[in-house]
Amino acid sequence: MNDYQNIFQRKITALQQSNNYRYFLNVNKSARHFPFFYFDQQGETKRAINFCSNDYLGMSVDEEVISKLSFVLHQSGTGSGGTRNISGTTNHHQSLEQTIAAWHQKESALLFGGAYLANLTSLQTIGRHIKELIFISDERNHASIIEGIRNSGNSKVIFRHNDIQHLEELLQSLPADKPKMIVFESVYSMNGSIAPVKEIIRLAKKYNALTYIDEVHAVGLYGETGAGICEQENLLQEIDIINGTLAKAVGVIGGYIAASQTIIDFIRSYGSGFIFTTSLPPANCAAAEKSINLIQVQQQHRARMHGTVNYLRRLLEAEAIHFISNDSHITPVLIADAAKCKIIADKLLEQHGVYVQPVNYPTVPVGEECLRIIVTARHTREQVAQLVKNLKQVLLEESTHHMQKQPA
């Protein structure tokens, strides 16, 4: 007889032994005190500062967004009560889709429970309905993209991360008459690199491929109105499908794609992960739309965030703390050892009230374990200076400890 519990337990034990087991901290958010939060330590409630939230602009605690959510919540109730096709579409859903489409300069947009589901469903649906289509995917693409491509059952080729030359070699090697789609992200969530979007589009046009970009970590933060890297690079009209989230810089929940009316109608009509699931609550849609409207005109918040990121990097350099250099707002401090990464993060929290989540395999490849530092528009320079001071101290303690353990 199969001992199912034992099979599962062995899998868990393997993760624990490789230091890749995930521990969750209860980060009890405070709308009043963000980026501070509260957590329990040995029966006591403690306060700490969050340096790894993707609520980049602090929109989840914005008074106007909260008021909008609360107002529509009392008007419409908590849940939508249905799939989009069966009583789950409201004015708030339609209005949000129109706002998103206009933001990305596309004809239409489609809402999903999250950007993960949007990637999974869109890629899988396109692949399943164009059997000949070959996916050409960046090696660092997010799990939702990998799963979507895998689930389609279509052929795929992987190009080296942001490597235009390799991408062209692959495009050249594929049959010219076969349909193709290049799938990539604009800001890569873990190493913070930014894709050469213009070059990728140029190759897509040359080899007649569709383009699909995940702007999840760029939405709200780049471009005149915060629509992302494609807006910043003036490429919104050139890209075929844009994926984004309402859960990070927008501060609410949900995901979407924006594209031509025909592509959106196609996914709306055939996408299993769109059709057979309850739609987002109306109040969340209204709050997300409010947040986008604010983001579009509040350039000062993203400017402030980018300014604080630069400040953080100057301080890290001054302290000789090595981070992966990039042009985005994500600052990964490379530790390159899963166990050490966790020890440093634990010490930062327990001794200094600083929360930075260690990022380990499989989120990053083995050897690239890091502390992914995020400063939001709400962090002050004093808080950042304190973080660097604390980090320096913990890193020093760790290296002294390591040296003491080395044989003489």
Ligand X SMILES: Cc1ncc(COP(=O)(O)O)c(C=O)c1O
Residues labelled as active-site residues: 248
Beta pairing, strands 241-245 & 255-259? antiparallel
> DSSP label at 98?
H
Per-residue binding letters, 247-266, with ligand X (x by CB under 6 A): x-------x-----------
Question: At a CB cut-off of 8 Å and minimum separation 6, what does 279 contact?
Answer: 80, 82, 83, 84, 88, 89, 93, 111
From the list 34-42, 115-123, 262-270, 278-286, the region that binds ligand X by CB under 6 A is 115-123
> Binder to ligand X among 245, 279, 291, 357 (CB under 6 A)?
245
Q: How far is the CB of 4 from ligand X (least distance, A)?
A: 29
Whether residue 41 contacts residue 49, with contact meaning beta carbons closer than 8 Å, is answered with: no
From the list 18-26, 212-220, 362-370, 399-407, the region that binds ligand X by CB under 6 A is 212-220
Q: How far is the CB of 144 from ligand X (least distance, A)?
A: 5
Structure tokens at 339: 């166990």
Task: Please say which residue, 246 or 312, places its beta carbon nearer to ligand X.
Answer: 246
> DSSP label at 278?
B
Count of residues binding ligand X (CB under 6 A)? Answer: 14
Cα separation, 311 vs 185, whole angstroms:
26
Element at 134 (helix H, strand E): strand 134-138
Structure tokens at 363: 């989120």
Task: Please say which residue, 247 or 286, places its beta carbon nearer to ligand X.
Answer: 247
From the list 162-170, 213-221, 290-298, 333-341, the region that binds ligand X by CB under 6 A is 213-221
- Helices then strands (H, E): number in the chain? 14, 14
> Binder to ligand X among 214, 231, 233, 337 (CB under 6 A)?
214
The dihedral built from the CA positions of residue 362, 367, 371 and 375, taken in this order, carries a sign that is negative
185 lies in the binding site for ligand X (CB under 6 A): yes
> Binder to ligand X among 114, 127, 220, 271 (CB under 6 A)?
114
Cα separation, 325 vs 193, whole angstroms:
8
| CB-count burial class (<10 Å; 0-12, 13-18, 19+) for 361 | middle
Q: How far is the CB of 201 from ligand X (least distance, A)?
A: 19
Cα separation, 75 vs 81, whole angstroms:
14
Which residue's CB comes closest to ligand X?
Answer: 114
Task: Please say which residue, 257 or 286, places its beta carbon nearer to ligand X.
Answer: 257
Give 40's strand partners: 45
Q: How far is the CB of 246 from ligand X (least distance, A)?
A: 7
> DSSP label at 332?
E
From the list 113-121, 220-228, 364-372, 393-401, the region that binds ligand X by CB under 6 A is 113-121
Whether residue 330 contacts residue 312, with contact meaning beta carbons closer than 8 Å, is answered with: no
From the list 88-96, 114-122, 165-173, 381-389, the region that binds ligand X by CB under 6 A is 114-122
Length of the chain: 408
Task: Please say which residue, 114 or 282, places its beta carbon nearer to ligand X.
Answer: 114
* 242 closest CA partner among 259, 255, 229, 225: 259
Q: How far is the CB of 382 from ligand X (least distance, A)?
A: 29
Q: How far is the CB of 188 from ligand X (least distance, A)?
A: 7
> Binder to ligand X among 115, 133, 267, 377 (CB under 6 A)?
115
Task: Please say which residue, 185 or 337, places its beta carbon nearer to ligand X.
Answer: 185
From the list 15-23, 111-119, 198-206, 294-302, the region that binds ligand X by CB under 6 A is 111-119
Per-residue binding letters, 21-60, with ligand X (x by CB under 6 A): ----------------------------------------
Element at 316 (helix H, strand E): helix 299-318
Cα radius of gyration (the chain): 22
Phi and psi torsions of 123, nearest 5°: -70, -45
Task: Please say which residue, 250 or 343, places its beta carbon nearer to ligand X.
Answer: 250
> Binder to ligand X among 104, 142, 290, 313 (CB under 6 A)?
142
> Binder to ligand X among 103, 116, 212, 355 (CB under 6 A)?
116
Helix axes 197-206 and 164-173, enclosed angle (nearest 10): 10
Provide the binding-site residues for ligand X, judged by CB under 6 A. 114-116, 119, 142, 144, 185, 189, 214, 216-217, 245, 247, 255
